[in-house]
Amino acid sequence: MIGLLTSNFTLYHDVIDILRRREIPFFSLDFSSKIPPEIDIVITSEEDADAIDFDKKIVCRENCNLETLIDKAEMMCYGENIKIIFGIDPGDNIGIAIFGNEKFIRSFVAKSPEQASEFIKEYIEEMDANEVIVRIGNGARLVRNRIINFLINENLKIEIVDESTIPCMDDDAMDAFKIAMAKGNEIKRGFSVEPKEGEIREMQRLSRIKSKNITISKKLAKKVLTGEIALEDAIEMQKNKNQE
């Protein structure tokens, strides 16, 4: 059970808002009473940390990410050594699920391989985990490979999971949940992000759908596929070129 003990009024309410929104059980503690035996870890502020005599506590420092801090508190309720498993469902929207110490923590959707990768890098740095595994589905080749290439030199294990063995939930976050629980094949190298002809044609088709009538060039489609520009920017560039 998580306990919250701080004299910092703003922090107190910010943490409670997140705990309630995520439906995480907690105790609100006060300095005049003993910490109950059912408390596994205490969340507190930097200015109050030294006044709290408790072995397991997490200190909220200035500008810390409270969502990540609460994740860490949840994980430490189930063991001091932290093992994190990320499940990633690559695609136009990238589903990400997080497990900590064999417990599901949360899931969400990232908008790009860069956003997904930066989140994971910052997350594991903040968590100071003992072991990190990233399991990524084998679909959406270019998105998958871009994420792998961003993470390949980090201190973590990467596995590619065969999505054909997992029931499709038609929900990016839920599919990531399933991927996180599946065993994959470990990889230790980066992959090509050179677009294939079929992928280029598909991006051109998507440009027509999104713009209603504009087909971006192969050159622009390749730039979108490799993350150099957004599809919306490519459409605007093609539109301007068509008007010349």
Residue 225's domain comprises 197-242
pLDDT at 172: 87
Q: Could you tell me the CATH number of the domain that includes residue 66? A: 3.40.50
pLDDT, tens digit, 9 for 90 and up, residues 223-243: 999 888 889 999 999 988 888
- Residues 29-41, mean pLDDT to the nearest whole number: 91
148 and 203 co-located in one domain: no
67 and 6 co-located in one domain: yes
Give the Å distances, CA to CA, from 55 to 9, 36, 40, 41, 80: 23, 13, 9, 8, 11
Whole-prediction pTM: 0.85
pLDDT at 45: 92
- Residue 244 in this model has a pLDDT that exceeds 80: no
pLDDT band, very low/low/confident/very high, at 164 (cuts 50, 70, 90): confident
pLDDT at 32: 87
Q: How does the average pLDDT of the chain come out, rounded?
A: 91
pLDDT, tens digit, 9 for 90 and up, residues 202-216: 999 999 998 988 999
153 and 70 co-located in one domain: no
Query: How far apart are the C-alpha atoms of 69 and 62, rounded to whole Å?
Result: 12
- Domain total for the chain? 3
Give the three-class secondary structure for 126: helix
